[in-house]
Amino acid sequence: MDAVTIERWIKNLGRQHSELVLEAVIPDLPLACLFIDDDGLQMEPENAIELHFDPRTMRFEEISFILHEPEPSPFETYKASCPGRLR
């Protein structure tokens, strides 16, 4: 994932899912509940990156990067560089 895309996501936090898809800020991927004990909706546009949305308002709330798995895991970690202010 490139830094320009990540910066664009950061600038668009708080906006509605439908607007972001319409403006091609995020890919038109299905939202899913990725965790049993979590009622939020997420998408994984790339391995080790998750975009989180409020299930009631469909507002873009959080960007998660999996940087390290503490134990052997089947999940990939994020290996690309982050934008300067996130390093």
Q: Does the residue 47 lie in any domain?
A: yes
Q: Does the residue 41 lie in any domain?
A: yes
Q: How many domains does the chain have?
A: 1
Helices (H), the chain: 3-11, 17-22
- How many C-beta atoms surround the C-beta of residue 47 within 10 A? 12
Please tell me the pTM assigned to this model.
0.78
Q: Does the residue 87 lie in any domain?
A: no
Q: Does the residue 14 lie in any domain?
A: yes
pLDDT tens sequence across 6-36: 999 999 999 999 999 999 999 999 998 866 6
Q: Does the residue 86 lie in any domain?
A: no
Q: Does the residue 29 lie in any domain?
A: yes
In which domain, by residue range, is 56 found? Answer: 3-81
